[in-house]
Structure 1
Amino acid sequence: MKIALNTDYYSGTGSPEMPLRYLAEAGFTHVHWCHQWCTDFLYGKAEIDAIGRLLRGLGLTLLDIHGSAGVEKCWFSTVEYQRRAGVELVANRVGMFTALGGTGAVMMHVPCFQCGQDEAARQRVLLQFDALRRSLDELMPELERAQVPLALENMWGDDWKLLNALLDAYPPERVGITYDSGHGNSDCLRQLELLNAARERLTALHLHDNDGSSDLHQPPFYGTVDWERLAEILAASPYPRELSFELAMRNTPYFDKGRQEQTPEAIRAFLGNAMLCCERFAELAEKKRCRNRDVTAAANT
């Protein structure tokens, strides 16, 4: 079964070699590249070439890259030089995606209206949204040249008003949705029906679980995500690629909070359990898709 896992399941900086080796050993076939997603790190050619050799040597395929949200280099910053630097950071990940033969999308965080926000906060978000539109306009020629889609991510407590505005403003082959099932499972706002309404634009996935109170990045079936309903929506969508999971070891029984470095045995145990949970959901989603095909075939006979 072909399943993608994020590279930062226990560490998101430093050398990715051991996380990738453990990931391949556990049976994952595809990579959701998540190293350095929350930094201003720019990948150079030598680093990208080394990652490519490592992926090929381990028999792994790059599915998606989680583009950096940036610290100072932020593509929706209202400070102009930071915004422009953020555009360069996104372009860096687009180039990396192309060089490594990515088969999915470059996934990006975007500003949003959240449940409980006051008016002052919403006005600040609107300024960020305007900055983001400028950045997207500047990136469109490069995305078109490279034939790389951006998949914009729903956020915690996101009401999708700004996300849907972006989907309306840009073509589906260039801009789609990354559905983050953890962000979509906040107690203040469950987002599955928002996904269902926009499922034709589903381009990438961040699949993980939580209890609704915080963004735990647990394996499927650990928390309160409605995996049955999500499988139905996926089955009805045109999403064409491998299922991609975004998990964290730190919120599972396999993580030892008393250790700075987790043992190889604990990492392997976590990944073994994670694979079982991911396969369980993948089987559920495939059953729903097969059922849909059978219903369609029966209706056409």
Structure 2
Amino acid sequence: MLTTSVNTDYNNDLHDWNAIEHQVEHIAKAGFTHTQWIHDWEGEYLYSKSEMFQARDILSYYGIKAHTIHATEGGQRDLFDAQGHKVPHVRERCTRIRKDYTNPNEYLRLAGVDLIKNRIDLCSHIGAKAMVLHMQLPFGMFRRSSSDMEDYYKQVCKSFDEVQPYAKAAGVKIALENLLFTPVEYELDKFERLFQRYDFDFLGLCYDSGHASIMCQDNYYLYLEKYHDRLCVTHLQDTDSVPREKLDDDVAVVQADAHRVPFTGVLDWQKIAYWVARAPLEMPADFEIGLKYNQSFESEKEELDLLSDCHERALKFHQMVLNEKELL
């Protein structure tokens, strides 16, 4: 059976259960079988147990299975310039984050651990087996001080050492995502350090194809080629990439992260299917797309037409993966 998965926040990430349920309902109407629960993917919101049951029951009511979730690293990094443009705070430590599993302040670090455990609990309640986690590296600090970089990873490992038994007991993997803004050499160092320290039962990779198409200018498939044996979650989306000379322009980079449906941009989806077929990823692969994001649809028909088109692309991709598996 061909299965398909798309993010719960395909149109908005409103902190509103009516908006959440509306999107889950339409995911089901479009024919999807699974979803990645992405609401509250950033910030420091803690789900109560009753809300976890509500999420479970909404998914169950519409016949949608929770495949994965998107956890939060804590806080919100976006600032705004005088023209109102979103400016990501990504090169240095973001001191506005109060629950931060990488923080040198032990109180804030432990609060970040609690936030991760809260999302593991959400996985357990709704039936998801893996969750995406950001680790936005303060690479400006890394460039200035190798000792600060080592101290950063000491805090990360302290937190992951504490989270690991909790996650394993729940049967939930954490998938580190390849991110925007951070130069490739620092992303590779992150994955190398942490994959050497932690086994796949705890820590894997979330491959974001759109992020790779922007940041990995020499090879969009670099992380798949190197770490396909760690692939446990995907964020499949397409972009037009960005000119290489714009990679240091954080506003240009975030604007290029289009989250378009696959097969509409620069990526070679046959290559992605090739590597997904060779990975331990439990299908379906998650699409992470934006359909008229933060805008109103003109009609329910427009919304369902766009979702149905996305669903057809998800079916096509799953079949491509199956075809590749037959060649193994």
* Fold match (TM-score > 0.5): yes
Distance, in Å, in 1 between the alignment partners of 2:300 and 2:104 is 43
Deviates more, 1:19-28 or 1:130-139: 130-139
Offset of residue 186 of structure 1? 1.2
Q: Are the equivalent residues in 1 in contact too, given 2:5–2:314 (CA < 8 A)?
A: no
* Residues 78 and 53 of structure 1: CA distance in aligned 2, closer, same or farther (over 3 Å): same
* Residues 187 and 137 of structure 1: CA distance in aligned 2, closer, same or farther (over 3 Å): closer
Root mean square deviation of aligned Cα:
2.3
1:193 is matched with which residue?
Answer: 222
Q: Are the equivalent residues in 2 in contact too, given 1:26–1:272 (CA < 8 A)?
A: yes
Q: Which runs of 5 or more residues in structure 1 are unaligned? A: 293-301
1:22-37 matches, within 5 Å, as: 22-37=26-41
Deviates more, 1:138-147 or 1:199-208: 138-147
Partner-residue secondary structure (3-state), 2:184 = coil
| Identity value in percent | 27
TM-score (norm 1): 0.86
1:70-219 matches, within 5 Å, as: 70-71=74-75, 72=97, 73-102=99-128, 104-112=129-137, 119-120=143-144, 126-156=150-180, 157-159=183-185, 160-186=188-214, 189=217, 190-213=219-242, 214-219=256-261
Write the letter of the residue equivalent to 2:178.
Answer: N
Q: Does 1:270 align with 2:306?
A: yes
- Of the two structures, which has the highest relative contact order with CA contacts closer than 8 Å and spacing of 6 or more? 2
TM-score (norm 2): 0.80
Q: Tell me the alpha carbon deviations over residues 187-228 of structure 1, each in whole angstroms, 9 at most, x when there is no partner.
A: 553341332122111111111111112211111011111212
Distance, in Å, in 2 between the alignment partners of 1:123 and 1:194 is 26
Write the letter of the residue equivalent to 1:176.
Answer: G
1:248-267 matches, within 5 Å, as: 248-250=290-292, 263-267=299-303
* Residues 165 and 191 of structure 1: CA distance in aligned 2, closer, same or farther (over 3 Å): farther
Write the letter of the residue equivalent to 1:108.
Answer: L
Write the letter of the residue equivalent to 2:122.
Answer: M
Partner-residue secondary structure (3-state), 1:96 = helix
Distance, in Å, in 2 between the alignment partners of 1:270 and 1:123 is 49
1:283 is matched with which residue?
Answer: 319
Partner-residue secondary structure (3-state), 1:249 = coil
Q: Which runs of 5 or more residues in structure 2 are unaligned? A: 76-96, 243-255
2:3 is matched with which residue?
Answer: 2
Offset of residue 128 of structure 1? 3.5
Size of the aligned set, in residue pairs, is 284
